[in-house]
Amino acid sequence: MGSWVSAARLRTLPLSISGIIVGTTIAAQQGYFNIAVFSLALGTTLGLQILSNFANDYGDGVKGTDNEDRVGPARALQSGLISRREMKQGIVITALVTLILALLLIYTAFGGENFLYAIIFFLLGLGAIAAAIKYTVGNNAYGYRGMGDIFVFLFFGLVAVFGSYFLYAMQLDWKVFLPAAAIGFLSAGVLNLNNMRDRASDQKAGKNTLVVLLGEENAKNYHYALIIAAVLFMVIYSVLTAAEWNDILYVIAFIPLFLHLKRVVQNENPMLLDPELKILALTTFLLSVLFAAGLFF
């Protein structure tokens, strides 16, 4: 059991639900909320993240990307704690459970009356499951072609925030794009840190992440742009919507964000970036929680 918990990489889970918290908060502030939808949305999102972690462990393990040159924590397949066959079974079971949760979520949100919405979200669910698996699995794994950041931005940011908001409100509000993009930028920042840390070993193994394609210095500049864009998009959202001081309580999270940026600027050894993954992920989660707390005061 311990090996599966390790393979699930629990430290990645808070980041995965940040978008759900933000989208739900905006909907609730507008008078839309359903505890069943919220619970199932959290379950589906956590299922997708764990599925992605299992698939990433399997894909990188099979391709030999996880080897003695890798800097981060040892993977389950790499260390022999879980066999290829067992990990395949884990991926299939997790995908099925996640799909069931997604179907329950869609039915709870839309019932039998909004068939078109249900179909759209069903396709989004299938796309999210496919994206979680295809990041490193298969000959055409998009994580090996520098496209991981795009999918993280889309699913952790736009789909998570916009999607969860729509499940409650069933309407479009263009302003929701701003915090959705902000969460997407921060999530892409976590992936970028991971790829900056692993740049040398990834390049050696033929894993062409965006960092490998950009080079170390440009990858740093890209990281600065992601964090600053996230801050700007949140501020613009508040300028357009904030009514009282507590609506901007989340700015407290800017402090650890800027301290994080300072450490990345000063970093000269990519291997020392590993702690920053956890810091940025938890800061994103903190921002979402403060965002929710501020609006509910």
What are the tens digits of pLDDT across the range 1-41? 677 887 778 888 999 999 999 999 999 999 999 999 999 99
221-268 pLDDT, tens digit each? 999 999 999 999 999 999 999 878 888 999 999 999 999 999 999 998
- How far is the C-alpha of 270 from the C-alpha of 113, rounded, in Å? 52
pLDDT score, position 72: 58
Which residues does 65 contact at the CB level (< 8 Å), separation at least 6? 59, 136, 201, 202, 205, 206, 207
CA distances to 4, 146, 147, 195 from 214, in Å: 34, 9, 12, 11
The CA-CA-CA angle for residues 225, 228, 229, to 5°, reads 80
Q: What is the pLDDT of residue 179?
A: 97
* Best CATH choice for the domain 2-296 from the list 2.30.29, 1.10.3470, 1.20.1260, 1.10.600: 1.10.600
What was the pLDDT predicted at 113? 81
pLDDT of residue 44: 96
Check residue 78 and give its pLDDT: 67
| Chain segment 191-231, per-residue pLDDT in tens | 999 999 988 888 887 888 999 999 989 999 999 999 999 99
More confident residue, 179 or 87: 179
Residue 153 burial by Cβ neighbours in a 10 Å radius (0-12, 13-18, 19+): buried
* 79 vs 213: which has the higher pLDDT: 213
What is the predicted pLDDT for the residue at 225?
Answer: 97
In percent, the amount of the chain with pLDDT more than 70 equals 94
pLDDT band at 296 (very low <50, low <70, confident <90, very high): confident
Is the whole model's pTM more than 0.75, yes or no?
yes
CA Rg, the chain, in Å? 19
The predicted-structure confidence for 60-78, as pLDDT tens digits, reads as follows 777 666 556 556 566 666 6
- pLDDT tens digits, residue range 148-158? 899 999 999 99
Kindly state the tokens that stand for 290: 């403060």
- Look over the chain and give the mean of its residue pLDDT values, rounded to a whole number: 89
